[in-house]
């Protein structure tokens, strides 16, 4: 299992520094948002990937909120393929904005275009979106041929069988045949986390709920999740793809966070 890191804490103007930081911390690969890839330019990204020796594990799409957003992602698929990108992560629309048929049709179109270009398309189950809970994940995967799952430790936690416990391994076991990529981040749930979760699931996007819910996502080892269990279960189900650490809320000293998270995960793997 190789280890990657996202550029989510870096501005699009800092992509070169982001990839150099990731390489300096000895990660094997990187994930980049599609918007940042457009802004930085594929030539720049290609050059820095070549210079650092990093693999491009995944490009994460825009939020798929409109027909125009879907078309733009499809138009950019050849650019991602030309960079030897391996996977295309797909972010569902916000909850209660579109019906199942529309979302399934959007994902089917992107999935077909991605697989034709040699990319692996992935749905990123995500809090407050159309594909949030395990049954919703299962429904979309069954509806769209060729679509695989980006399994995320923190986004699974609130809906797992063991919630509010630290063990999220049931999510890996449940989707063992569907997981094509993994995001790792921890959760430090604040008081009232249940109510925040339920409000977002109901489509009540009160600013306080949104901010406090997603701010609970944190560095590995700074929350409650059992990452030894995550690693052991990934191994037991035969997952051999990369695990990418996605730290969203630590914009200061990004290099320090990249290194600390790499070291934490390395200790888990070597235990």
Q: What is the pLDDT of residues 188-243, one digit of tens each?
A: 999 888 888 888 888 777 767 677 788 899 999 999 999 999 999 999 999 999 99
Work out the average pLDDT over 88-112.
96
- At residue 201, the pLDDT reads 86
- At residue 199, the pLDDT reads 86
234 within 8 A of 243, measured Cβ to Cβ: yes
At 133, the pLDDT band (50, 70, 90 cuts) reads very high
Residue matched to tokens 């995500």: 126
Work out the average pLDDT over 135-154.
98
DSSP states of 221-263:
TSSS--HHHHHHHHHHTT--S-EEE---S--SSHHHHHHHHHH
- At residue 234, the pLDDT reads 98
- At residue 103, the pLDDT reads 98
* Signed CA dihedral, 112, 115, 119, 125: sign only: positive
Work out the average pLDDT over 157-164.
96
- At residue 214, the pLDDT reads 80
Using one digit for the tens of pLDDT, what is the confidence trace for 34-80? 999 999 999 999 999 999 999 999 999 999 999 999 999 999 999 99
99-108's contacts with Cβ under 8 Å and 24+ in sequence apart are 100/139, 100/143, 103/64, 103/130, 103/131, 103/140, 104/140, 104/143, 104/144, 106/64, 106/67, 106/70, 107/64, 107/140, 107/143, 107/144, 107/147, 108/143, 108/144, 108/145, 108/147
- At residue 250, the pLDDT reads 66
How far are the Cα atoms of 122, 137, 256 from residue 99, in angstroms, in the given order? 20, 15, 42
- At residue 106, the pLDDT reads 98
Q: How far apart are CA 153 and CA 226, in angstroms?
A: 10
- At residue 3, the pLDDT reads 98
- At residue 251, the pLDDT reads 67
Percentage of residues in the chain with pLDDT exceeding 70? 98
Q: How far apart are CA 175 and CA 233, in angstroms?
A: 12
Work out the average pLDDT over 255-264.
96
Q: How far apart are CA 7 and CA 77, in angstroms?
A: 19
Mean pLDDT of the chain: 94
Structure tokens at 201: 């699931």
- At residue 12, the pLDDT reads 87
């Amino acid at each position: 299992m190789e280890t990657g890191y996202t550029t989510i804490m870096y501005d699009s103007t800092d992509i070169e520094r982001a990839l150099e930081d990731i390489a300096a911390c000895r990660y094997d690969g990187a994930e980049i948002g599609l918007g940042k890839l457009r802004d930085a330019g594929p030539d720049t990204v290609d050059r820095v990937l070549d210079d650092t020796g990093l693999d491009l594990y995944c490009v994460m799409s825009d939020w798929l909120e409109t027909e125009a957003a879907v078309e733009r992602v499809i138009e950019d698929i050849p650019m991602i393929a030309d960079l030897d990108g391996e996977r295309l992560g797909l972010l569902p629309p916000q909850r209660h904005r579109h019906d199942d048929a529309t979302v399934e049709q959007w994902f089917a179109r992107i999935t077909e275009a991605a697989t034709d270009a040699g990319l692996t398309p992935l749905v990123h189950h995500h809090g407050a979106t159309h594909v949030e809970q395990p049954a919703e994940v299962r429904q979309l995967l069954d509806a769209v041929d060729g679509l695989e799952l980006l399994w995320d430790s923190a986004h699974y936690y609130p809906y797992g069988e063991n919630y509010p416990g630290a063990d999220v391994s049931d999510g890996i076991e449940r989707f063992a045949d569907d997981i094509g990529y993994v995001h790792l981040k921890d959760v430090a749930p604040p008081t009232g986390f249940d109510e925040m979760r339920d409000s977002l699931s109901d489509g009540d996007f009160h600013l306080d709920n949104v901010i406090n819910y997603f701010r609970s996502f944190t560095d590995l080892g700074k929350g409650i999740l059992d990452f030894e269990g995550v690693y052991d279960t990934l191994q037991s189900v035969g997952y051999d793809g990369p695990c990418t650490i996605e730290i969203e809320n630590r914009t200061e000293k990004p290099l320090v966070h990249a290194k600390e998270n790499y070291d934490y995960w390395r200790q888990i793997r070597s235990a």
